[in-house]
Amino acid sequence: MNLKTRLLFCACCAPAILCAQNNLTTTVTQRYFNGVRRNLEAAADAMPDAKYDYKLTDGQMSFAEWINHSTSRNYSDCATLKGEPAPEAAKKVASLKAKAEVSQALKDSFSYCASALESIDDQKVLASPQMTYALLHTVVHNNEIYGNIVGYLRTSGIVPPSTAARSGQKGKKN
């Protein structure tokens, strides 16, 4: 390849390469984080307050404990992404019981994570295993939590948000 061809190739490909630099964080945010955020927040809203202490079996966490677990992990993982200690709100999560406070804490933790995701890029995430783990954990672990609470919703007669969205039911009772 002669010099002119190489320069032309670089000029044409440079914008694509620059745009592609944040494919990981953009994809994780748009495709996975936003979806699991919607599902968990909608599930927290759909479950009646009286069912927040509900357990599928005696040995499992209650619905509220699952939501609080998501909230705690969000604060922990997204603090890592931000490079700061977890916010004060994280210290109160374990004591939350009622729907209004548990649901609001979850939403606040997802807002905190959304701001963390806005300020990172692929290079920063891939720079350390802790950063990569924190990014992926916000999606993977939250999807695992959502998978667990779907059973709580279904046995309470509530169509899970992900199912409701696909079928146009919007979280209606079965």
Please report the DSSP string for 26-56 in residue order: HHIIIIIIHHHHHHHHHHHHHS-GGGTT--S
Q: What pLDDT is stored for residue 26 in this prediction?
A: 77
Evaluate if residue 72 carries a pLDDT over 60: yes
Nearest-Å Rg of the Cα atoms of the chain is 20
- Give the residue extent of every domain in the chain: 24-167
Evaluate if residue 76 carries a pLDDT over 70: yes
Residue pLDDT, tens place only, 94-125: 999 999 999 999 999 999 999 999 888 888 88
Thinking of the domain 24-167, which architecture would CATH place it in? Up-down Bundle (1.20)
Burial class (CB in 10 A: 0-12, 13-18, 19+), 54: middle
Position 142: which residue type? N
Q: Which of 41, 30, 67, 37 is nearest to 138 (CA)?
A: 37
pTM for this structure?
0.83
Three-state secondary-structure class, residue 158: strand
Q: How confident is the model at residue 19 (pLDDT cuts 50, 70, 90)?
A: very low
